[in-house]
């Protein structure tokens, strides 16, 4: 007995899509749990010059805002209490995106 063509096509399409989805990720490496690249570990702050630690950490995570006049700008802002630089947030940031989320650096 012949199967009607209209019943065969949807089954073939579903089968193709399912096969494609399974085979496309069959060779994908799966990283072990907890090994995701979250960037460098947070900088241990020892209580000394927070601006030196922040600027150094920004350079470590490849944020260009840590270069150049970072140290002088940071120290001036802290001394004059011009704005909250969210230094704790910046020191905890493991990526440029996380540093931008602190809302005190641009990291262009």
| pLDDT score of 19 more than 80 | no
Tell me whether residue 64 is in a domain.
Answer: yes
Can you give the pLDDT at residue 30? 54
Residue 8, domain member (yes or no) = no
Among 61, 63, 43, residue whose Cα is nearest residue 52: 43
- The reply to whether 24 falls in a domain is no
The pTM of this model reads 0.57
Distance CA 44, CA 61 (A): 14
Determine, yes or no, domain membership for 21: no
% of the chain with per-residue pLDDT over 90 = 46
Other C-beta atoms within 10 Å of 46: how many? 8
Tell me, yes or no, whether 76 lies in a domain. Answer: yes
> What mean pLDDT do residues 32-55 have?
65
For residue 71, is it within any domain?
Answer: yes
In a domain, residue 61? The reply is yes
Measure the CA–CA gap between 22 and 87, rounded to whole angstroms: 46
Structure-token match 């001036």, residue found: 76
Give the residue numbers spanning the domain of 70. 50-101
Number of compact structural domains in the chain: 1
With respect to residue 54, please indicate whether it lies within any of the assigned structural domains: yes
């Amino acid at each position: 007995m012949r199967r009607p063509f209209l019943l065969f096509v949807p089954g073939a399409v579903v089968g193709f899509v399912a096969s494609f989805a399974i085979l496309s990720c069959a060779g994908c490496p799966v990283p072990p749990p907890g090994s995701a690249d979250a960037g460098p570990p947070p900088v241990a702050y020892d209580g000394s010059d927070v601006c030196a630690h922040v600027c150094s950490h920004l350079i470590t995570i490849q944020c260009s805002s840590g270069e150049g006049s970072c140290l002088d700008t940071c120290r001036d802002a802290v001394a004059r209490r011009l704005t909250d630089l969210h230094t704790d947030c910046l020191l905890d940031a493991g990526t440029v995106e996380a540093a931008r989320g602190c809302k005190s650096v641009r990291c262009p």
